[in-house]
Amino acid sequence: MATLDATARRTSALPLVLLVPLLAALVLIARAAGLGDVEVAETFVLIFTSIVIEALPFILLGALVSAGIEVFVPHTWFDRLARAPAALQLPGAALGGMAFPVCECGSVPVARRLIARGMHPAAGIAFMLAAPIVNPVVLFSTWVAYAGRGLGAEMVMGRAVLGVVLAIAAGWALGGERGDEMLRERDEPVHRTGSKPRAFADHLAGDFFFMGRFVVLGGALAALLQTALPQSLVTGVATTPVVGALALMGVAFVLSLCSEADAFVAVSFTPFPIGAQMAFLVFGPVVDAKLALLYGATFRRRFVLRLVTVAVPVTLAGSLWFEALVLR
């Protein structure tokens, strides 16, 4: 038995031990090959790492909140919450996003935990999608970006209203299943023994590693798209509101920007109508390249595809309505 245990330990530790020299060799080969002088590689690495450096602390923040919910909030609280009608939970959760000042990476682990603990899945989705749009930091940065064009208040109001409407619509359309049917199983269950601080640390690490790898992969995908595709591909279609809005939704997906910064980029898309810029601001925090991987790892049943089928028409209709209202 002791021999078997020893063999198992050796088997599991060996790849870990091999990984370090393997990665070191990779670094040495890249340096020897002069990869740092290849501009495409430089651009990719800089955009990739800057996305990850900015996003990982928000994943940590989300994991902190998520672990706190799991370990310190009593079951009875969630039982009471789960008994509330979905019609109440849904808008309440969407508006609750106002109190959670993080961008989209942080809201996913929290929503996952809320659904796992018994919140109605529709409400969990509504919270997850609304929080990165309607939180005060994002709305303030939107106001700052557009105040110079005299549209600060309009853009803030439009973004908040459309964000909440989209979050509720998506929650209602996608959240009809039971929580355990909707969420993917974790490949490594967290130990449920030990003291509360130890359980908190285990849950924090579990969520961080579960979500973090998909943020890294999503950041790589976004960087690849930013490096390979010139944005001039979409400026030719800028003039018509419908095509312009669809084009900027595509750009938002590719760029995968933090919702706290995206308004400063959106305001630079001056060839596009204001409604198309609004579509960029509402769609980007809901569906982008890095989020697509994160959602895929968190939810089952083609969640991303189903979310896109809701988000595109709602965002498009909302942005056209917004443009008509602003230009009236």
Partner 1 sequence: MIDPLRVARAGVLLVWTTFFVYLRATGEITRYLGPRTYWVVTFGAVVLAASFLAQAAAVRSERPRRVSAATLVGLTVMVMPVVAVLAIPEATLGALAAGRKNAAVAGGAAGAVPDATGRDPSFSEIHFAGGNEEYARALGVTDGTSVSLTGFVTHPPEAPPGTYGLTRFYVSCCAADAIPYTVFVADGAARREDAWLEVTGVLERRGERFVVVPREVREVAPPSDPYLY
Interface region with partner 1, contact rule CB under 8 A, candidates 73-81, 164-172, 175-183, 194-202 = 194-202
Interface region with partner 1, contact rule CB under 8 A, candidates 20-28, 124-132, 159-167, 314-322 = 20-28
Q: At 220, which amino acid appears?
A: A
User: Least distance to partner 1 from the beta carbon of 172, Å?
Assistant: 32
Mention every residue, 6+ apart, whose C-beta is less than 8 A from residue 260: 103, 137, 138, 141
If residue 169 lies in a helix (H) or strand (E), which one and from where to where?
A: helix 152-174
Q: How many angstroms from the chain centroid is the CA of residue 9? A: 37
- Nearest residue (CB) to partner 1, 227 versus 309: 227
In the list 138, 267, 279, 282, the residue contacting partner 1 (rule: CB under 8 A) is: 267
Residue 232 binds partner 1, judged by CB under 8 A: yes
Considering only residues 58-87, where is the footprint of partner 1 by CB under 8 A? 58, 60-61, 64
Considering only residues 140-169, where is the footprint of partner 1 by CB under 8 A? 147-149
- Nearest residue (CB) to partner 1, 61 versus 81: 61
Closest by CA position to 71, among listed 178, 175, 205: 205
The position carrying tokens 């769609």 is 283
Q: Which two tokens stand for residue 202?
A: 């285990």
Residue 239 binds partner 1, judged by CB under 8 A: no
- Nearest residue (CB) to partner 1, 6 versus 87: 6
User: Least distance to partner 1 from the beta carbon of 129, Å?
Assistant: 21
User: Least distance to partner 1 from the beta carbon of 310, Å?
Assistant: 26
Residue 99 binds partner 1, judged by CB under 8 A: no
**What does the alpha-carbon distance between residue 158 and residue 134 come to, in Å, rounded to a whole number?**
10
**What does the alpha-carbon distance between residue 162 and residue 165 come to, in Å, rounded to a whole number?**
5
Residues 61/106, Cβ–Cβ less than 8 Å: yes
In the list 13, 87, 305, 325, the residue contacting partner 1 (rule: CB under 8 A) is: 13
User: Least distance to partner 1 from the beta carbon of 82, Å?
Assistant: 30
- Nearest residue (CB) to partner 1, 247 versus 314: 247
The backbone torsions φ and ψ at residue 188, rounded to the nearest 5 degrees and listed phi first, read -130, 95
Residue 139 binds partner 1, judged by CB under 8 A: no
- CA atoms within 13 A of residue 51's CA, in its CB half-sphere: 33
User: Least distance to partner 1 from the beta carbon of 75, Å?
Assistant: 24
Residues 133/165, Cβ–Cβ less than 8 Å: no
In the list 156, 166, 204, 291, the residue contacting partner 1 (rule: CB under 8 A) is: 204
Interface region with partner 1, contact rule CB under 8 A, candidates 74-82, 89-97, 172-180, 250-258 = 250-258
Number of H helices, E strands in the chain: 16, 0
- CA atoms within 13 A of residue 245's CA, in its CB half-sphere: 22
**What does the alpha-carbon distance between residue 123 and residue 179 come to, in Å, rounded to a whole number?**
11
In the list 8, 99, 324, 325, the residue contacting partner 1 (rule: CB under 8 A) is: 8
Indicate the SS3 state at residue 289.
helix
**What does the alpha-carbon distance between residue 322 and residue 314 come to, in Å, rounded to a whole number?**
12
Considering only residues 22-41, where is the footprint of partner 1 by CB under 8 A? 23, 26-27, 30-31, 35-36, 39-41
**What does the alpha-carbon distance between residue 328 and residue 79 come to, in Å, rounded to a whole number?**
48
User: Least distance to partner 1 from the beta carbon of 204, Å?
Assistant: 6
- Nearest residue (CB) to partner 1, 123 versus 211: 211
- Nearest residue (CB) to partner 1, 46 versus 87: 46
